[in-house]
Structure formats: C-alpha cells, structure tokens
Amino acid sequence: MRFCIIGHPVSHSLSPMIYTRFFEMKRIDATYEALDIQTGEFPSVIDGLLKEYDGLNVTIPFKEAVVAHVDSMIERSLRAVNCIFEGAGHNTDWIGFSHSLRNIEIEEPVTILGAGGASRAVVYALKRSGVHRVNILNRSPARAERVAEDFNDGNFEVKTFSIDSLRPIVRESKSIVNATSIGMKGERLDLRREDLQGISLVYDLIYSETPLQKVARECGVENVIDGKAMLFFQACENLKIWRLFDEKVFERAFEVVTG
C-alpha cells in the first residue's frame, strides 16, 4: 500500500518516520511519503494524488481546501479533513485533541489562537466535550468569523477578536490553545508572564518546545501540553481507518521516533 502526507511546508512532519517505523515493525508492505505541494499547484494535482495513493494525510494549509475533493465526509460540520481513505474524508485531529485531554479539566473561557483546519478540530472537540465559551484570535479576522458562524449556537458561544487583543483576552481566559504555527521556528507571542497568572491550561499543538510552552512552565501553569499526545492519538485513528492498527506496536514505533 502507498500512503503520503501532503502539505506546505511538510518537512517538519514526523509522520513519515513514525508510520515507516510502524510498517517495518509490523512487516506491512507499505510506504509513507511526504509531499511538499505549492499552494498554487494544489488544485491541479490533488485529484491525481487521491487516485495514486491508497491513503492520504493532509496538513498545513490544505485541510479545508481538500474538502471539495473528497466523495464524502465523516465530520461534515467540521469542514476540515486530515485523513482520506477510499474517497472518504475524515478528521482525526479532533479525536486526537479530545483523547489527549481525557484526564484534564478544561476551564473556560478557552482562547484559541488560529482559525485554520486545526483550530476547527479544536473548536469541534471542545464543543463536544461540553465547553460553552470560546474566543478565537486570528491574523485574518474573516477566517475566525467563518469558524464562529459554523459553530455558534444557543449553547456554545464563539467570540472572535483580532490577534492584537491577545494580552487582554488571555488575561480574561482560563485556558489557551495555540493552533497556529507561531513558535515552530522559535517565534514569540506577545504575552508576558503576568498575562498567564489565571491560566490553568496551555495547549500548544506544535510538537516541539516553543517559547509559549517555556514561559507557561516558568509561570507554573498547571497543565502545559505540547502537540505530541494529539499527534499520537490522531495517528492511532488514522491507522484504524486504514485497518492497520496495532496499539502495542504503534506505541513502540511512536516512542522510538519521538523519544
């Protein structure tokens, strides 16, 4: 079988190493490649890739754009897909995010940075888990407003703000989720230690150490979580969809690669 992850950039992804290791350990005759697709060439290549590969993962920035190219969608209201198999678009990010927070109480309001595919998965997971109040801050306000329109209802309030309001909004929040790529290359958010005093959870979807995680730990934030647990649990779901899952072996493969 042939699998791949498409994105831009994609070189940071650990998925090729993790799945390749898993296939080797299980003696499964399969490959997993990383394909860096320029944004402009996505519309002309995506349908060919869907035919060429047995299964695909989709990462930054194509999770929303790929929705128009799948035959059916499992989590339709989420409008973002990160795993494709047999023509069906799945979202396993939200399951990964939910599972990684199983034993943690999420205090509200929750402030989410970002309004892309990963942010949508986070909002969907929070809504399903019973959270009622979410703030979204994004560089492009219109994109945050579209997420709010898609998820707002009588029981679930999504407010949107400019990223320039980061400090005052964080001061009124209990939990923060970074669903942007800010921090992947060491970039800093405009946050000071005093802004984090009332925060009980900092969840950064980036799986390497970032300045946000560092400052949160230094401030004594009770729960500081990076993206590895979410990556692990969403990968488990992908393997279940591809009918290749073996929990024990996958745990070992993941551990070997992420150390």
Binding site for ligand NDP (CB under 6 A): 59-61, 63, 93, 96, 114-119, 138-140, 143, 179-182, 184, 205-207, 227, 230-231, 234
**Is 34 or 205 the residue whose CB approaches ligand NDP more closely?**
205
Report strand pairing: 83-85 vs 55-58. Answer: antiparallel
**Is 173 or 180 the residue whose CB approaches ligand NDP more closely?**
180
**Do residues 84 and 108 lie in contact, with contact meaning Cβ atoms separated by under 8 Å?**
no
The type of residue at 13 is: S
- The least CB distance from residue 220 to ligand NDP, in Å, is 24
Alpha-helical segments (H) within the chain: 15-26, 42-52, 93-100, 117-128, 141-151, 166-171, 211-218, 228-241, 247-258
- The least CB distance from residue 105 to ligand NDP, in Å, is 21
- Token pair belonging to 149: 């329109």
**Do residues 171 and 146 lie in contact, with contact meaning Cβ atoms separated by under 8 Å?**
no
- The least CB distance from residue 49 to ligand NDP, in Å, is 17
- The least CB distance from residue 96 to ligand NDP, in Å, is 6
Q: Which residue minimizes CB distance to ligand NDP?
A: 116
Of 26, 51, 63, 214, which is the active-site residue? 63
Instruction: Please return the burial class of 87, using the count of CB atoms within 10 Å of its CB with bins 0-12, 13-18 and 19+.
Output: exposed
Mark whether 63 is an active-site residue. yes
33/53 Cα distance (integer angstroms): 10
- The least CB distance from residue 249 to ligand NDP, in Å, is 20
235/249 Cα distance (integer angstroms): 13
**Is 14 or 196 the residue whose CB approaches ligand NDP more closely?**
14
CA distances from 200 to 110, 190, 222 (A): 10, 19, 5
**Is 88 or 184 the residue whose CB approaches ligand NDP more closely?**
184
**Is 129 or 197 the residue whose CB approaches ligand NDP more closely?**
129
**Cα Rg of the chain, angstroms:** 18
Enzyme catalytic residues: 63
